Structure 1
Amino acid sequence: MAAYPNPSNISPAKEAGQVDFLRRQFRVSPPAVTSADVDLKGKTAIITGGNSGLGFHSGAELLGLGLSRLIITARDEAKGKAAMKALSDKKPSGTSVEVWPLNLSDYDSITSFVERVKTLDHLDIFIQNAAAFAVEFRTHPSTQHEEVIQVNYLSNALLCILLLPVIAANKAKTAPTRIVWVNSETAAWAKFKEKNSSTSLLASLDKKPSSFDFIERYSTSKLLCQLFIVELTKRVPPSVAVITLVNPGFCWGSGLHHETNGISGGILAATKRLVGRSSPIGARTLTDAAVKHGEEVHGQYLGDCRLKPMAPLIYKPEGAKIAKKLWEETMIELAPFKASEVLAEVTS
Structure 2
Amino acid sequence: MAVNFDISPEKEAGILRLFHSQLFVTPPPLTRRDVDLSGKTAIVTGANGGLGLETARQLLDLGCKVILAVRRMERGEAARQELLEGRDARATEIEVWPLDLASYESVMSFAERAKTLPRLDIVVLNAGLYKVNQTMVATTGYEESIHVNYLANALLITLLAPIVKEKKTGSTPGRIVLVSSDLAAWAKFKERKSNPILPTFKQKMTPKWDFLERYGTSKVLGQFFVTELAKRVSPDAVLITTTNCGLCHGSELSREGQGHLIGHIFNVVSRIFGRSCSVGARVFVHAAASPVLGASVHGQYVEDAKLKPMSPLIYKPEGLQLGLKLWEETMDELSFAGAREIIDSLSK
Does TM-score exceed 0.5, indicating one fold? yes
Separation in 2, partners of 1:156, 1:175? 24
- Answer whether contact 1:12 1:309 (CA < 8 A) is retained: yes
Structure-1 residue corresponding to 2:68: 72
Structure-2 residue corresponding to 1:278: 276
Separation in 1, partners of 2:166, 2:262? 47
Partner amino acid, structure 1, of 2:283 = T
Runs of 4+ in 1 over 4 A off after TM superposition: none
Of residues 238-247 and 262-271 in structure 1, the stretch that sits farther from structure 2 once superposed is 262-271
Q: Secondary structure at the match of 2:256?
A: coil
Separation in 2, partners of 1:121, 1:9? 40
Structure-2 residue corresponding to 1:288: 286
Identity score, percent: 46
Partner amino acid, structure 1, of 2:268 = A
RMSD of equivalent CA atoms: 1.4
Separation in 2, partners of 1:132, 1:275? 20
Separation in 1, partners of 2:109, 2:304? 34
What is the CA-CA distance between 1:332 and the residue it aligns to?
Answer: 0.5
Separation in 2, partners of 1:266, 1:191? 25
- Answer whether contact 2:121 2:169 (CA < 8 A) is retained: no
Deviations 1:280-321 (A, max 9, x none): 110010111111121111000011000100010011000011
- Answer whether contact 1:49 1:129 (CA < 8 A) is retained: yes
Matches within 5 A, 1:127-276: 127-170=124-167, 173-197=170-194, 199-209=195-205, 210-260=207-257, 261-276=259-274
> Is 1:29–2:26 an aligned residue pair?
yes
What is the CA-CA distance between 1:171 and the residue it aligns to?
Answer: 7.0
Structure-2 residue corresponding to 1:310: 310
Q: Measured at CA, do residues 130 and 172 of structure 1 come closer, stay the same or move farther in structure 2, by a change above 3 Å?
A: closer
Separation in 1, partners of 2:87, 2:159? 30
Q: Secondary structure at the match of 1:31?
A: coil
Q: Secondary structure at the match of 2:188?
A: coil
Q: Secondary structure at the match of 1:38?
A: coil
What is the CA-CA distance between 1:205 and the residue it aligns to?
Answer: 2.2
**Structure 2 length-normalised TM:** 0.96
Separation in 1, partners of 2:47, 2:171? 25
Structure 1 spans left out of the alignment, 5+ residues: none
Separation in 2, partners of 1:17, 1:272? 18
**Structure 1 length-normalised TM:** 0.96
Separation in 2, partners of 1:96, 1:47? 13
Q: Secondary structure at the match of 2:255?
A: coil
Structure-2 residue corresponding to 1:340: 340
Structure-2 residue corresponding to 1:319: 319
Deviations 1:313-332 (A, max 9, x none): 01100001111111010011
Separation in 1, partners of 2:261, 2:169? 54
Separation in 2, partners of 1:182, 1:163? 16
Structure-2 residue corresponding to 1:85: 81
Candidates 122, 126, 130, aligned match of 2:123: 126
Partner amino acid, structure 1, of 2:264 = G
Q: Secondary structure at the match of 1:267?
A: helix
Partner amino acid, structure 2, of 1:336 = F
Deviations 1:171-221 (A, max 9, x none): 763310111111111111111111111x11111222102301001110110
Structure 2 spans left out of the alignment, 5+ residues: none
Q: Measured at CA, do residues 75 and 172 of structure 1 come closer, stay the same or move farther in structure 2, by a change above 3 Å?
A: closer
Q: Secondary structure at the match of 1:259?
A: helix
Partner amino acid, structure 2, of 1:233 = A
- Answer whether contact 1:7 1:307 (CA < 8 A) is retained: no
What is the CA-CA distance between 1:169 and the residue it aligns to?
Answer: 2.4
- Answer whether contact 2:198 2:329 (CA < 8 A) is retained: yes
Q: Measured at CA, do residues 239 and 91 of structure 1 come closer, stay the same or move farther in structure 2, by a change above 3 Å?
A: farther
Q: Measured at CA, do residues 313 and 6 of structure 1 come closer, stay the same or move farther in structure 2, by a change above 3 Å?
A: farther
Partner amino acid, structure 2, of 1:180 = V
- Answer whether contact 1:139 1:147 (CA < 8 A) is retained: yes
Q: Measured at CA, do residues 122 and 205 of structure 1 come closer, stay the same or move farther in structure 2, by a change above 3 Å?
A: same
- Answer whether contact 2:123 2:176 (CA < 8 A) is retained: yes
> Is 1:49–2:46 an aligned residue pair?
yes
Separation in 2, partners of 1:89, 1:264? 35
Separation in 2, partners of 1:142, 1:267? 33
What is the CA-CA distance between 1:6 and the residue it aligns to?
Answer: 5.0
What is the CA-CA distance between 1:254 and the residue it aligns to?
Answer: 1.6
Partner amino acid, structure 2, of 1:73 = A
Structure-2 residue corresponding to 1:105: 102
Q: Secondary structure at the match of 1:122?
A: coil
Separation in 1, partners of 2:167, 2:32? 26
